[in-house]
Amino acid sequence: MNITYNILYTKKAIQSGVVSLVTDEEKKHKIRLIEEKLKEKECKLTPQRRATLNVLIENQSKHLSTEEIYDLVKDKFPDIGLATIYRTLQLFDDFDIIKKLNFNDGCYRYELSEDQRHQHHHLLCLKCGNVYEFDDDLLDELEHKIHKNSAFAVTDHMVKFFGYCKECQNTK
Ligand SMILES: [Zn+2]
Ligand SMILES: [Zn+2]
Ligand SMILES: [Zn+2]
């Protein structure tokens, strides 16, 4: 099955602020925080890393693959190699600046981590391949139950929802 994953902004995601057009001010602020985070571990935000970060911030919710990120960074740094992008994404992942996503379409995709907040979940349509973001988290109760029944202290969870989006249900 060859699915191309496009992005659709659900109304809900826009309202909840998951999808927002970042202003220059917000972008600068975000970059400054990340720069400090790296600095604490004596890591530098080099111009190439900064350009990669910019692409991720400007394309939040698009769930870009490594190649797509590479193509966009190349606009600014024509000489940059794919290996550098790989290493940069690995570094950002190690610092929990980004989240690595697997939508079962043969590549990893990335999005910025939501600082302080629990990362939103993804709804994957099996027909059109669109990925929707879903921000409501109804799993707290389940985590409580697990703790109660198994004495296991859950600190995080990863969930993917598969099914059919509204449009695809109507055309079935
Ligand atoms: Zn997402
Ligand atoms: Zn669909
Ligand atoms: Zn959750």
Strand partners for 162: 124
* Ligand of minimum distance to the alpha carbon of 119: 3
Q: Which ligand is nearest to the CA of 143?
A: 3
In this predicted structure, what is the pLDDT of residue 17? Answer: 45
Ligand 3 centroid to residue 158 C-alpha, Å: 7
pLDDT in tens, 158-172: 889 999 999 999 885
Residue 112 CA to ligand 2 center (angstroms) comes to 24
Instruction: Specify the pLDDT at position 22.
Output: 73
Look at strands 108-112 and 98-102 and give their pairing. antiparallel
Is 121 found in the same domain as 111? Answer: no
| CA separation for the pair 120, 113 (Å, rounded) | 9
Q: What angle do CA 73, 77, 41 make, to 5 degrees?
A: 75
120 CA distance to ligand 1 centroid (A)?
A: 6
Q: Is residue 2 part of a domain?
A: no
Q: Which residues surround ligand 3, an ion (CB under 5 A)?
A: 137, 139
Of 115, 131, 148, which residue constitutes the final position of a domain? 115
* Residues paired with residue 121 on neighbouring β-strands, in sequence order: 134
The rounded Å distance from CA 35 to ligand 1 centre is: 23
109 and 132 share a domain?
no
pLDDT value at residue 172: 59
Residue-level pLDDT at 3: 42
Domain CATH code at residue 54: 1.10.10.10
Q: How far is the CA of 146 from the centre of ligand 3 (A)?
A: 14
What would the pLDDT profile of 127-149 be if each residue is shown by its tens digit?
999 999 988 778 888 999 999 99
Domain boundaries, position 134 = 117-172
User: Can you spell out the DSSP letters for 88-99?
Assistant: HHHHHHHTTSEE
The total number of structural domains that make up the chain = 2
CB 132 within 8 A of CB 13: yes
Domain annotation covers residue 3? no
pTM for the structure as a whole: 0.79
| 125 Cα–ligand 1 center, Å | 14
Tens-level pLDDT at each residue, the chain (172 residues): 334 344 444 444 444 444 556 788 888 999 999 999 999 999 999 999 999 999 999 998 899 999 999 999 999 999 999 999 999 999 999 999 999 999 988 999 999 998 777 888 999 999 999 999 988 778 888 999 999 999 999 988 888 999 999 999 988 5
